[in-house]
Amino acid sequence: MEKKITVLFIWETDPRLKAHFKKTFRNKQNIRLIFPVKFDDGTLEKYAPEADIIIGWRPSEKLISKAVNLKLFINPGTGVKHHIENFRKLRNAGRNILLINGHGHAYATAQHAAAMLLALMNRIVYHHNQMTEGKWNTSDDKDTDYSSLLLRGRKIGLLGYGNINRHVHRFLSGFENEFHILKNSWKNEGKKFKGDFAKYEQKDLKKFLKASDILIIAIPHTEKTERLINRQELKLLGKNCLIVNVARGIIIDEKSFFESLKSGSIAGAAIDVWYNYRPEKNKEGKEYPYSFPFHKLKNVLLSPHRAASPFDNIDRWDEVTENIFRLAEGKEEFVNVVDLDKEY
């Protein structure tokens, strides 16, 4: 049975995306979309009591408290750590609101992870910069520290095996590598995952790290994953290890990471996620999202948290529209519901 539902968007939605939603639901008389003209607290709180679904990133507690009919809150991005405490409070207060995260950018993020790894291994940025300065060098004779590294035969460790690293696995499978994959649990997966790779669970972290000489991190930020990789874990990876992080900066202890890269305890890293997303400008007006000077290291590739680009990709919203359809059709199962106890 189809229900009448109201969907409230709590940020200034791009006109192209707004048109996409309107077109998608144009024949659904029971779905009402609200795109406010203003986004101040007062305006959003005025619409909140009508909302069955709210879509956005950082709603205030007051907004959610006024959304008395709310069934789904959809966070369009993957990171939901900032929502967990509030939604646990709501659950404890007897409000049955489902928190949903978005994985629509998984393909783009996986592409970025693979691209950063290859750029790091082939020293693309360094040689690009050399050429822009008019320095022409076609061999390794003068730049032995910047020779390319072969991917073939490397032991790739995928830390986390959600939507992102599954794409990474597929993208890199043609390079003749071993794959080692750590997932929280492989139970109840049946024959879902096929292929020749070693499986690990959380209890096997040290064994997994020892077996990997390329580590690609794509796990959620939870209390259990904060600083999961510290000095000792970095040491287990070894001097030839390369790290690609597209998860959250805090998964790796910042000081240990910087010092391991500086000392050569690990060979290099490609980093898209950082530690301070509101950095103060220094005396030169520059902003660095970290406490240690990663930008001065020669063995890193820096990326400003852009793995999810292109941000205007309409396809990434398919999961959101699917969940709206499901609620409107009276269904009770939804895509990417967050387990508040597991925090993802």
Task: Measure the CA–CA gap between 81 and 68, rounded to whole angstroms.
Answer: 23
Same domain, 96 and 123: no
pTM across the whole model: 0.93
The CA-atom distances, in angstroms, between 175 and each of 119, 161, 220, 270, 303 are: 15, 19, 27, 19, 24
Are residue 59 and residue 86 in the same domain, yes or no? Answer: yes
Instruction: Work out the percent of the chain whose per-residue pLDDT is above 70.
Output: 97
Residue 267, pLDDT > 80, answer: yes
The pLDDT tens digits for 277-294 are 999 999 999 999 999 999
Same domain, 91 and 154: no
- Which stretch of 108-117, 131-140, 147-156, 258-267 has the lowest confidence by average pLDDT? 131-140
Structural domain of 271? 106-302
**Assigned domain for 199 exists:** yes
Whether 64 and 145 map to the same domain: the answer is no
> Are 77 and 142 within one domain?
no
- Domain-embedded: residue 337: no
- DSSP 8-state code for residue 265: S
- At 23-36, the pLDDT tens digits run 999 999 999 999 99
- The answer to whether residue 191 scores a pLDDT higher than 60 is no
Q: How many C-alpha atoms does 294 have within 13 Å on its Cβ side?
A: 26
Residue 341 domain-assigned (yes or no): no
Kind and range of the H or E run holding 302: strand 300-302
Q: What is the pLDDT of residues 40-71, one digit of tens each?
A: 999 999 999 999 999 999 999 999 999 999 99
Region 105-130 average pLDDT: 96
As a whole number, the mean pLDDT across the chain is: 94
The verdict on residue 30 lying in a domain is yes
In-domain check, residue 161 = yes
Per the structure, the count of domains in the chain is 2
Q: Quick one: pLDDT at residue 238?
A: 95
- Residue 176 in this model has a pLDDT that exceeds 70: yes
85 shares its domain with 117: no
Give domain status of residue 26, yes or no.
yes
Cβ contacts of residue 313 below 8 Å, gap of 6+?
104, 105, 108
Domain identity same for 22 and 123 = no
- At 112 the pLDDT is 98
Which CATH number does the domain housing residue 318 bear? Answer: 3.40.50.720
Check pLDDT > 60 for residue 194. Answer: yes
